[in-house]
Amino acid sequence: MSMVDIINKKKLGYVLTKQELSEAFLGYYHGEIPDYQMSSLLMAICMKGMTDEEILNLTDIFIHSGEILDLSQVNGITVDKHSTGGVGDKTTLVVASIVASLGVKVPKMSGRGLGHTGGTIDKLESIPGFRVNLTEEEFINQLNTVGAAIISQTKNLAPLDKKVYALRDVTGTVESIPLIATSIMSKKIASGAEKIIIDVKVGNGALLKTQEDAIEISRIMKMIGSRYGREVETMITYMDIPLGTSIGNALEILEVVQILCNQENNYLVSLCKALSSKMIQMALGKNINQANAMVEDSLKSGKAYQKFLEIIQAQGGDLSLLRVSSNKQDMISTKSGHIIGMDAYRFGKLSLDLGGGRKTKEDKVDSSVGIVLKKKIGDDVKIGDILCTLYLKEGTDPILDDITSYYTFD
Ligand code: URA
């Protein structure tokens, strides 16, 4: 069947066979199908959805576009963690440090920013020297010596997803349950962990906007996991406001350091603890109280922070060289009241507009830009108070006069 026939078939809502999905997606991977035709098919999938069978078939095609990592050389239980994407979401860096400090192996393959959401790899690349591309041997060695390694989607693992992901990012085809599930699960299966926890984010700043969508994608991801004999757990968590106090790559690394040094206590910290406890339960068979106590101890004793430093050092990063922009703009409130809402989506878009993400595939991310939130939900604000500080590209003019409308006051 020609690519146009395949696009038309999906556009009319019919089910594509594995053969048709292979022709389209592998053809795209091998450069025989151009970006514009793949964009059109992706858009048709966004509009018409996919059956479970199509999702399983597409995931299988993605997985077998590359290698499946063999983690049998890793000593100990492997647990991977993934988030469906949010604004200010730096949980992976905290959670991997805590869980690895407790003796569980965390083989983590992360992504770059997607749409208005940030990506762990972009955050890590703000640390000068940090290598996100380890060889398979280095990855496994680091898991055995340090306990966690965080790498970018390598060429060899689900490489088809890497190509499709970059196209979705710039063609308005990110927010699709089948495409998100396929993308995440193909990477999770290919990267080899025995157990996987997925943080399913829901809300205005997330890729999934409703509770129903979050429940549905959880079902699909568990279904895919069981097809490959992997234990998959999901946690549905809220993303109506940005997570934590900063958005932007280098700024978020600084926030991770603060959390691991016990200098913050907010919803993000509770979320990191909850995810870590779940991973400890899955890996070590502990009950929830035991797992919670282990996580608290790792943070309080500084073991989690030490582990974070070990991960950075093992991958060549030098935290002392991390740089944030010196071109700052305090954003002043033009209203007074009690903050009852913050538009996570608009904050994510603003970070993108500041240069912290990509609008085209070729864009270079500026890791020094971003937003530090000074006022959050529950705070009382007076006219003239600083709501947040924008970190602009060095040498550029402000791009926004007033940010008050990003907040809801009562
Ligand atoms: N994270 C991924 O890896 N893929 C998606 O499609 C969305 C979030």
Residue pLDDT tens, the chain, 410 long: 999 999 999 999 999 999 999 999 999 999 999 999 999 999 999 999 999 999 999 999 999 999 999 999 999 999 999 998 889 999 999 999 999 999 999 999 888 887 788 899 999 999 999 999 999 899 999 999 999 999 997 768 899 999 999 999 889 999 899 999 999 999 999 989 999 999 999 998 888 999 999 999 999 999 999 999 999 999 999 999 999 999 999 999 999 999 999 999 999 999 999 999 999 999 999 999 999 999 999 999 999 999 999 999 999 999 999 999 999 999 999 999 999 999 999 999 999 999 998 888 778 899 999 999 999 999 999 999 999 999 999 999 999 999 999 999 99
Q: Indicate if 131 belongs to the active site.
A: no
**What pLDDT sits at residue 114?**
77
Place of tokens 């940090």: 130
> What residues have CB less than 8 Å from 179, skipping those under 6 apart?
42, 45, 46, 164, 168, 173
Q: Which atom of ligand 1 is nearest to the CA of 182?
A: 6
Looking at CATH, the fold of the domain delimited by 3-49 is given as 1.20.970
Q: Indicate if 227 belongs to the active site.
A: no
pTM: 0.90
**What pLDDT sits at residue 278?**
97
Task: Count CB neighbours of 288 within 10 A.
Answer: 12
Q: What is the 3-state secondary structure (H, E, C) of 349-386?
A: HHHHHHHHCCCCCCCCCCCCCEEEECCCCCCEECCCCE
Check pocket membership of 85 for ligand 1, CB cut-off 6 A: yes
Check pocket membership of 114 for ligand 1, CB cut-off 6 A: yes
Pocket test for ligand 1, best of 82, 165, 187 (most atoms within 8 A of CB): 165
Write the CATH number of the domain with boundaries 79-320.
Answer: 3.40.1030.10
Write the CATH number of the domain with boundaries 324-409.
Answer: 3.90.1170.30
Which two three-digit tokens encode residue 317? 């990063």
Q: Which of 183, 191, 325, 333 is catalytic?
A: 183
How many angstroms does the Cα of residue 179 sit away from the middle of ligand 1?
A: 8
Domain ranges within the chain, ordered by starting residue: 3-49, 79-320, 324-409
Q: Indicate if 183 belongs to the active site.
A: yes
Q: Indicate if 39 belongs to the active site.
A: no
**What pLDDT sits at residue 92?**
95
* Nearest CA-CA partner of 60 in 96, 14, 21: 21
Check pocket membership of 333 for ligand 1, CB cut-off 6 A: no
**What pLDDT sits at residue 169?**
86
Q: Which of 80, 89, 122, 161 is catalytic?
A: 161
Check pocket membership of 180 for ligand 1, CB cut-off 6 A: yes
What CA–CA distance (Å, rounded) separates 408 from 410?
Answer: 7
Q: How far apart are the first and last CA of the chain?
A: 57
How many angstroms does the Cα of residue 271 sit away from the middle of ligand 1?
A: 20
CB 33 within 8 Å of CB 3:
yes
Check pocket membership of 184 for ligand 1, CB cut-off 6 A: yes
Residues 185-214 as b/e (b if ≥16 CB within 10 A, e otherwise) read bbbbbbbbbbbbbbbbbbbbbbbbbeeebb
Question: What 3-state DSSP class applies to 278?
Answer: helix
Check pocket membership of 183 for ligand 1, CB cut-off 6 A: yes
Check pocket membership of 84 for ligand 1, CB cut-off 6 A: yes
Residue nearest to atom 1 of ligand 1 (CA): 84
Residue nearest to atom 5 of ligand 1 (CA): 180
